[in-house]
Chain A
Amino acid sequence: MADHNPDSDSTPRTLLRRVLDTADPRTPRRPRSARAGAQRRALLETASSRRLSSQTKMTTRRYSHGVRSISGSAYVQASGHLEEQTPRTLLKNILLTAPESSILMPKSVVKPVPAPQEVQPSRRESSVGSLELQLPELEPPTTLAPGLLAPGRRKQRLRLSMFQQGVDQGLPLSQEPQRNDDASSLTSSLNLTFATSLQPQSVQRPGLARRPPARRAVDVGAFLQDLRDTSLAPPNIVLEDTQPFSQPTVGCSRRVYRSLPCMPHTGAKDAELAAGCKTRSSGPGMQTNSPEKPAQFLAGEAEEVDAFALDFLSTSSGVSGEDGVEPLQDGVEEAEKRMEEEGVSVSEMEATGAQGPSRAEEPEGHTQVIEAEESQETAEAKGPGASSGDEDASDRAASPELVSSTPESLQARRHHQFLEPDPPPGAAVLSSEPAEPLLVRRPPKPGTTGPRPQQDPHKAGLSHYVKLFSFYAKMPMERKALEMVEKCLDKYFQHLCDDLEVFAAHAGRKTVNPEDVELLMRRQGLVTDQVSLHVLVERYLPLEYRQLLIPCASSGNSVFPAQ
């Protein structure tokens, strides 16, 4: 095929020519084009220009990205031929429109279209010839009645018809069957479009196709549980983080947890009461049923609340905390018996769940539960010490078992339960704890700006030396340390004045001389035979003071200060 025209001054044309030549084998493309066409046909509103542009785009894409750019340049060059409906103008229009849709048209349609468009009128014959060569391949494709073409096609037809007029009829023939194919595909696509609404978008941009999000049914149960866990867990974390010291965190967290459970506890209590089961009774019932119904653990929010309620009850009762774990085992059997008697299903689960997490570490909680059981069963007072203690042991034994069976979701509750029983026994500890952080923390700034007595200027003067002290220390100091420095300075001043008085009196004077001060310094050990006063003056005092203190001879045999 004479592809390279000597007149072709623009590379895009040659490239297109080459593409056309290489595009001879149409059969492999047809199936693809057919498929693509079916996908694209989903769009009904594709305008003729769009189609044309898409077609051309398809061809350009197929050629290569470089070709596309080149084709763009070619179009620019062809801008001069706007007035006539030439393939160039058509291609240019296509480029201008630059439809996003990547509708794939049958290659058979695309190729002949762009190829002839780019070819200049002078070369149409040659291109036509190439197209003609391709015609026999195009003919085989099925051809539908031209009337099936969409109205948009008519425009294409018009444009193409003009082009065709300038070209042999081979081109239109080749195009028509293609159009027919498109029309048929369109009709099929029309049917498809109604069915699928999402497809068009994906069809237009297969690369950017967005698949419908896979939606799963929401697991309400798990969601609720997660909510509970998260609602309970975060506060602990937040509180712990806010505390700068490790010690207070424990105490504070305990207190916080205490307050936190109160909220859900109260709510749960109402729910429980509404259910008609006493929290106390539910507690023991829960224990008994816990081994029997481990699955029920997961059910409940109320479990936590029950646990809290129990804990509160226990705190009020003031049950002793850590008894031997050994008696627990003995009491387990007894507890089980009692549990079975209770026969409370829901509350049982809650109680078991609550108790499970609270283990022996929270003997109070267990004791509470036990007490609840007893109170219900025997209508006894809550605070039976001995019996409750034994039962607590049994409950504790049961609790560890429950703990093992409790799912992870209960761990959050665990924390709460741990905290609740801890406060009551650790009340004393808590009181001590706040004291510790206070010591560690810096004492609050003392507001000493109110009074302005004689002390103030005195302190102001001393503060000067205090600052010097901190400067010399080169280390961070506490406020109390600075206060101590002030006291030391005050004492030092008093001592100093007394000594100076003695020295002056010893010298028979009533005025303190600098020599007295020097003597004082010598006594202090600052001035020695090796270190004279002048040396110290020079070291520590500024120049101005040194001039005043150290006699210096100046011109004219004058000494300053005058001796």
Chain B
Amino acid sequence: MALSTTVSQRKQIKRKAPRGFLKRVFKRQKPHLRLEKSGDLLVHLSCLLFVHRLAEESRTNACENKCRIINREHILAAAKVFEN
């Protein structure tokens, strides 16, 4: 499994999905349900996409406000867009 992938940025983002974490979370939420083998991978994928969209939206909000730093207000606004 690919633990980490060297990206152009300084940080080394771990591409590995926290499968145990996801399973634990799902179990805690819905103990009566089970999750399939590859199901958590797809859940992980959906989370990645969600985070990606959220980041993009927050960055757009910050740029609109001409702020160099992303504030919580920007993230809140982005989350509200996705909550609908």
Complex contacts, B58 vs chain A, CB 8 Å: 473, 481
**Is the CB–CB distance between B72 and A480 below 8 Å?**
yes
* Contact in complex: A472, B52 (CB < 8 Å): yes
Q: Which residue of A lies closest to B57 (CB)?
A: A473
Q: Is A245 an interface residue (CB 8 A)?
A: no
Q: How far is A147 from B36 in the complex, measured between Cα atoms in Å?
A: 126
When the two chains form the complex, which single residue of B14, B44, B51, B79 contacts A472, counting CB atoms closer than 8 Å?
B51
Question: Pick the contact of B47 from A458, A471, A492, A510 — CB < 8 Å?
Answer: A492
Is the beta-carbon distance between B41 and A548 smaller than 8 angstroms? yes
Whether A542 pairs with B5 at a CB distance below 8 angstroms is yes
Q: Please, how many residues of chain A have a CB less than 8 angstroms from a CB on the other chain?
A: 59
Count B interface residues, CB 8 Å. 54
Known A-B contacts A467-B11, A478-B69, A540-B49; the reply to A545 vs B17 at CB < 8 A is yes
Interface status of A514 (Cβ within 8 A of chain B): yes
CA A461 – CA B47 in complex, angstroms? 12
Q: Are B72 and A478 in contact (CB under 8 A)?
A: yes
Scoring A residues 43 to 57 as 1 if CB is less than 8 Å from chain B, else 0, what string do you get?
000000000000000
B68 at the interface (CB under 8 A from A): yes
Q: Do most interface residues of chain B lie in helix, strand or loop, or is the interface mixed?
A: helix
**Contact residues in B for A483 (Cβ distance below 8 Å):** 72
Q: Does B30 contact A (CB under 8 A)?
A: yes
What's the Cα separation between A514 and B38 when bound, in Å? Answer: 7
A496–B18 contact, CB under 8 A? no
Q: Is A271 an interface residue (CB 8 A)?
A: no
Q: Is the CB of A489 within 8 A of B11?
A: no
The answer to whether B42 touches A517 (Cβ under 8 A) is yes
Q: What are 27 inter-chain pairs, A to B, with CB distance below 8 A?
A: A458-B25, A464-B14, A468-B13, A469-B55, A471-B9, A474-B9, A475-B69, A475-B70, A480-B72, A481-B69, A481-B71, A484-B76, A484-B79, A485-B54, A493-B25, A496-B43, A497-B30, A501-B33, A510-B32, A510-B34, A512-B26, A521-B49, A524-B50, A542-B1, A545-B17, A545-B41, A548-B41
Interface residues of B (CB under 8 A from A): 1-2, 5, 7, 9, 11, 13-18, 21-22, 24-26, 29-30, 32-39, 41-52, 54-56, 58-59, 62, 68-72, 74-76, 79
Residues of A within 8 A of B (CB): 457-458, 460-461, 464-465, 467-478, 480-481, 483-485, 488-489, 491-494, 496-498, 500-501, 504, 510-514, 516-518, 520-521, 524, 526, 533, 536-537, 540-545, 548-549, 561
